[in-house]
Amino acid sequence: MSQTLWQPNASIDNLRARARVLAQIRQFFAERQVLEVETPVLSQCAVSDPFIDSLEVSFGFQPGQEDERLYLQTSPEYAMKRLLAAGSGDIYQMAKVFRNGESGRRHNPEFTMLEWYRIGMDDHQLMAEVEALVTAVVPGLSVRYLSYAELFEQTLGLDPHRATLTQLQQVCRAHMDAPFEDDDPDTWLNLLMSHVIEPGLKGGVFVHSYPASMAALAQVRTDAQGRQVAARFELFVNGVELANGYHELTDAAEQARRLDADQHQRAALGLPQRPLDRRLVDALQAGIPDCAGVALGVDRLVMLALGVDGLDQVVSFMHARA
Amino acid sequence: MDLPAFSFAVEWLSIFRPLLSVVSFEFRSRNLLYMANYSSNQFKNGLKVMIDGDPCAMVDVDFVKPGKGQAFTRVRLRNLLTGRIWERTFKSNESVEGADVMDIDMEYLYNDGEMWHFMDPNSFEQVAADKNAVGDSDKWLKEQDKCVITLWNDNPISVTPPNFVELQVTETDPGLKGDTAQGGSKPATLSTGAVVRVPLFIEEGEMLRIDTRTGEYVSRAN
């Protein structure tokens, strides 16, 4: 084994196919006059999301000396929003992002993320553009649109907005062995989504209108049934999560409140407290245009384009060989 | 019961009995070792942990991360006592106690009618395994063959025979003369009581090489 560890885990043919997909993505945005940008991989601030862990980097003016603690980006979102506030117009980038502890069949601690922002679009318009890109790369893919509530009602006969904690736990325990306790309804919704619903999703499925508690950086609106829902969507293809998008939050005060809420939750869970990016709040304060944005896993898109089922077949050197 | 092996073992014991008490002490002192707790980010294939009071081995570990929200670790587990395999999901900050499980190469000594007795050829420590631990392996156990004994808190919970064993045919239909190349097979009973399919030319009294993982005849033993 050790004698072959110098070799790439993906075939050279697959890496050629990967390069063609990257060229196709750049062509897609060139045709739409979306500007390619680059933002720093190393930042003084870290993502606030309690369930995404940043990798830390020591910066020093002398070798072995730490003058600054920096963080590898987990997504280029904050920096790209600062560009939007500065008047960049429509932008995209393909960047390496880094997530501590994430390693598995469909996870690698570093991966390539495609992120783009479209001014004047909402989440539904952006979903249509994501569909155009994905079906260009994966021809013949059929795509459906379902709200989070419709998906839960169809699959489990459960209203995710109104179900009580006890009901959610009961449904979970009927479907899986997960004997731990947790008083956050989102934990149980996430379990049902990832263990029961996602594996059964065939073809491409856009899931939209998430519960407001899962808004992250999306706007919250009231749906036709009078429920508070997040203007957030995810695209699943054959049960694999491929993209996550928002009609972006532009309210600086609300953004500051969500950063602080994340930091409080981190403290409550005993997770590291890391510098919050207040410059994002300042950018929103200065004024960011109404826009929608989405992040898409490029390695997974290449997996789909090639019809393979492991990241190791489309990434030259995975974590174990890096 | 095979008497020669039994008497051999008794003889062996009488010579080394003074040593055994010392060895036993060292052997059991492993119990005092601290069994670590493993958090879900340390889970990996092969890790032995205690689940609901039973020792279990992790067969497959997968990281499950929803788009937003906490991650889960989904583990395929094998209960080492019952053999049951199932999936359990853990939260990212959960931890479980390690199980004091180890695999030891031991020599099969004899069966006393109820228990199967094995000996560690280095320490001369002996253990006795019951029917639950031995399971279906009993039909491949031949005296002095090396087996892998899985111990949990020093008690045997499973016995894995060697991949290949050589056993004598005690009963089979007469061989067909000259039929050494043609296909076709017949049942043959071996010295341990196991029944395997063998080629038509095999005769009673012959030694055969058997793959215990598949229960299939491999060749005549030389």
In A, minimum Cα distance to B71 occurs at A51
Residue type at B200 in one-letter notation:
L
| CB-CB neighbours of B9 under 10 Å | 18
A chain contacts of residue B69, beta-carbon cutoff 8 Å: 51, 186-187, 190, 214
Cβ–Cβ pairs < 8 A, chains A and B = 64
Put simply, the answer to whether B66 touches A194 (Cβ < 8 Å) is: yes
Query: B92 CB near a chain A CB, below 8 Å?
Result: yes
A chain contacts of residue B71, beta-carbon cutoff 8 Å: 51, 101-102
B chain contacts of residue A177, beta-carbon cutoff 8 Å: 86-89
Place of tokens 């997968």: B62
A chain contacts of residue B65, beta-carbon cutoff 8 Å: 51, 102, 107, 194
In A, minimum Cα distance to B90 occurs at A178
Put simply, the answer to whether A180 touches B90 (Cβ < 8 Å) is: yes
- Do A97 and A75 touch, CB atoms closer than 8 A? yes
Q: Among B134, B145, B140, which residue's Cα sits nearest to residue B193?
A: B140
Query: B45 CB near a chain A CB, below 8 Å?
Result: no
Distance CA A75, CA A96 (A): 8
pLDDT digits (tens, 9 = 90+) for B176-189: 665 555 568 899 99
Helices A298-306 & A12-31, crossing angle to 10 degrees? 110
E strands within chain B? Answer: 37-39, 48-51, 54-64, 72-79, 85-91, 95-97, 101-111, 116-119, 126-129, 146-152, 155-160, 164-172, 185-190, 195-199, 207-211, 216-220
Query: B60 CB near a chain A CB, below 8 Å?
Result: no
Q: How far is CA A299 from CA A200, B111, B192, in A?
A: 22, 58, 55
Mean pLDDT over B24-28 rounds to: 43
- DSSP bridge partners of A205: A144, A236
Q: Which of A50, A107, A191 sits opposite B65 (nearest CB)?
A: A107
Domains, in order of start, for chain A? 2-142+203-321 (3.30.930.10)
Put simply, the answer to whether A103 touches B63 (Cβ < 8 Å) is: yes
* B114: CB partners within 8 A, 6+ apart: B130
Banded pLDDT at B66 (limits 50, 70, 90) = confident
Calculate what percentage of chain A has a pLDDT beyond 90: 90
Put simply, the answer to whether A190 touches B66 (Cβ < 8 Å) is: yes
For residue B216, the 8-state DSSP code is E
Look at residue A307 in the predicted model and tell me its pLDDT.
Answer: 94
Is residue B27 over pLDDT 50?
no
What backbone torsions phi and psi does residue B128 show, to the nearest 5 degrees?
A: -115, 125
Look at residue A2 in the predicted model and tell me its pLDDT.
Answer: 63
- DSSP bridge partners of A297: A113
Instruction: Kindly report the nearest CA distance between residue A186 and chain B, in angstroms.
Output: 7
pLDDT digits (tens, 9 = 90+) for A64-94: 999 999 999 999 999 999 999 999 999 999 9
Query: A294 CB near a chain B CB, below 8 Å?
Result: no
Question: In the Cβ-directed half-sphere of B1, how many Cα atoms lie within 13 Å?
Answer: 13
Put simply, the answer to whether B63 touches A241 (Cβ < 8 Å) is: no
The three-state secondary structure class of B148 is strand
Query: B53 CB near a chain A CB, below 8 Å?
Result: no
Complex ipTM over 0.90? no
Put simply, the answer to whether B91 touches A180 (Cβ < 8 Å) is: yes
Look at residue A239 in the predicted model and tell me its pLDDT.
Answer: 86
A chain contacts of residue B90, beta-carbon cutoff 8 Å: 178, 180
- State which residues of chain A have pLDDT below 50: 1
Domains, in order of start, for chain B? 3-30+100-160 (2.40.50.140), 37-97 (2.30.30.30), 164-220 (2.40.50.140)
pLDDT digits (tens, 9 = 90+) for B123-152: 999 999 999 899 989 999 999 999 999 999
Distance CA B145, CA A1 (A): 31
Residue predicted with more confidence, B25 or A214:
A214
Is residue B190 over pLDDT 90?
yes
Instruction: Kindly report the nearest CA distance between residue B155 and chain A, in angstroms.
Output: 28
Look at residue B67 in the predicted model and tell me its pLDDT.
Answer: 73
Q: Among A50, A117, A37, which residue's Cα sits nearest to residue A289?
A: A117
A chain contacts of residue B88, beta-carbon cutoff 8 Å: 177-179
Look at residue B22 in the predicted model and tell me its pLDDT.
Answer: 43
Query: B84 CB near a chain A CB, below 8 Å?
Result: no
Calculate what percentage of chain B has a pLDDT beyond 90: 64
Query: A194 CB near a chain B CB, below 8 Å?
Result: yes
Is residue B26 over pLDDT 70?
no
B chain contacts of residue A104, beta-carbon cutoff 8 Å: 62-64
Look at residue B179 in the predicted model and tell me its pLDDT.
Answer: 53
Banded pLDDT at B168 (limits 50, 70, 90) = very high
Residue predicted with more confidence, A175 or B22:
A175
Mean pLDDT of chain B: 84
Put simply, the answer to whether B62 touches A105 (Cβ < 8 Å) is: yes
A chain contacts of residue B92, beta-carbon cutoff 8 Å: 51
Put simply, the answer to whether A51 touches B70 (Cβ < 8 Å) is: yes
pLDDT digits (tens, 9 = 90+) for B72-95: 999 999 999 988 999 999 998 799
Residue type at A94 in one-letter notation:
M
Residue type at A190 in one-letter notation:
N
Q: Which of B67, B87, B93 sits opposite A177 (nearest CB)?
A: B87
